Amino acid sequence: MAYSGAVPDTAARPLDWMDRMACREEDPDMFFAKDRQHEARLICVVRCPVRTECLASVKEAERGAHRDYRDGIVAGLAHNERWRLDVEAIRCKDDTVPLILDGTEPCGTHNALLGHLWRAERIDPECWSAEVRRDRLERATAARTSNPAAAEPAPSEVPLKTAS
């Protein structure tokens, strides 16, 4: 082959999306602390422009793995949620549409939110509002349980504005 003088394009790397991960600028502990799951999910859903790439990557990396080999929030999904969805995906022999989360769950339920996240879909306001309410309830319950006299006020609702 004759020398053409063309310079090969080496600028684009397969994992360039990692340079744009919103979690790179956040406290890593947030993604592994059980009581900060909602905060981490918020970063993934609202601020991260590469949630789709991140999801594809973690699906591939964890496919078929036991629950104990998964950890933290990734692509908006907690480790046990990814495990549950992966099991369903394998069971129905389709790696994108688990039978129980095939898009027929009504919006506003936790399963509907998980389905959106697993399919890398936009999160609609109804599902996000339900997630915010769920987090408030969990925080209030935890605060009452640990110290009834000093329960923290619920965090303000964060308006939904997705990055992608």
> Where does this chain bind Zn ion (CB under 5 A)?
107, 112, 124, 127
Nearer to ligand SF4, 54 or 101 (CB): 54
Number of residues in contact with ligand SF4 under rule CB under 6 A = 11
Cβ neighbors of 84 (< 8 A, separation 6 or more) are: 114
Q: Are 49 and 84 in contact (CB under 8 A)?
A: no
What is the x/- site pattern for ligand SF4, positions 72-111, by CB under 6 A? --xx------------------------------------
SS3 category, 98: coil
Distance (Å) of CA 14 to CA 25, 118, 119: 21, 22, 21
Chain residues binding ligand SF4 by CB under 6 A are 21-23, 43-44, 48, 50-51, 54, 74-75
